[in-house]
Amino acid sequence: MGWVEVDQKQHLGLVKERNLYKRLLDECLLVFNELPNKELIRSKGTYALATKIEQAFKIGEIQLP
């Protein structure tokens, strides 16, 4: 996959969208860590899902304010 050129307005829009997703993931992580470990549909449990979210933060080097 190659580079794509975007103007400043497009870039700012992408950054804003990325930040919204990061905040949403962070909120989900907080909620899953508060829930008792119980099985979810298509997932092993709330703790397993929280672990996947934490790994996504580490892989993407996501840092939230």
pLDDT tens per residue, range 18-35: 888 888 888 887 887 777
Stated pTM of the model:
0.53
Token pair, residue 59, equals 């892989």
Average pLDDT over residues 44-65: 69
The better pLDDT of the pair 64, 9 is held by: 9
CA angle 13, 24, 55 (to 5 degrees): 105
Give the amino acid at 9. K
DSSP 44: S
**What are the backbone dihedrals phi and psi of residue 57, each rounded to the nearest 5 degrees, phi first?**
-60, -45
Residue type, 1: M
Work out the angle at residue 36's Cα, subtended by the Cα atoms of residues 64 and 33, and round it to the nearest 5 degrees. 10
